[in-house]
Amino acid sequence: MSYPPPTYHADGGEPTAWLRRSDHPAELDLRHGGAAHFLATGASTSGRFGLYRWDMGPRAGGPDPHFHRTMSESFFILSGTVMLHDGTDWRATGAGDFAHVPEGGIHGFRNESDEPASMLILFAPGAPREAYFTGLVELGEGRWKPTEQELADFFVEHDNHFI
């Protein structure tokens, strides 16, 4: 394996780094006292990756096993106990644990514990997951009431294929 071809060709560097402070408010409030933080979206990384912090309240649940055709997904557990599906079974993970799921890999996550849990989710390349997450919140809160076909189309549009 080698480095990819250069994408920056100028002689000197540029002051293009950006910082998101820890006190930046979450973009989405989730059920059970959780929150979703859009740390780096595909739009802000020129499609290279998307990085999200997913804070789950106690017994927050999560998605059933599914896979993506267009992107990998990685999880880094920050705190609490997160159940991760590894394609064959649910596994308890804790702070410092990491999982990588390539395209086509079956996976899922949930918080089944009585304590909050938090993790980072990395998508590569950086698909526009914000609309998917927002749609899920609207669905969960009853603000969006799709037909079965609309819901199926929503999942396909956002590359979520449930097992």
Q: Mean pLDDT per segment of 10 residues, for the chain of length 163 residues? A: 94 96 96 94 96 97 96 98 98 98 98 97 97 94 96 97 96
Asked if the structure places residue 155 within a domain, the reply is yes
Specify the pLDDT at position 76: 98
Query: What are 111's two structure tokens?
Result: 């918080």
Q: Give the three-class secondary structure for 61.
A: strand
Domain count, the chain: 1
Q: Give the three-class secondary structure for 138.
A: helix
Asked if the structure places residue 124 within a domain, the reply is yes
Asked if the structure places residue 135 within a domain, the reply is yes
What are the CB-based long-range contacts (under 8 Å, 24+) for 18-24?
18/44
Asked if the structure places residue 18 within a domain, the reply is no
Asked if the structure places residue 146 within a domain, the reply is yes
Specify the pLDDT at position 26: 97
- Domain CATH number, residue 127: 2.60.120.10
Domain span at residue 65 reads 28-162
Asked if the structure places residue 13 within a domain, the reply is no
Asked if the structure places residue 16 within a domain, the reply is no
Q: How far apart are the first and last CA of the chain?
A: 33
Asked if the structure places residue 103 within a domain, the reply is yes
Specify the pLDDT at position 32: 85
| Bridge pairing between strands 50-56 and 82-85 | unpaired
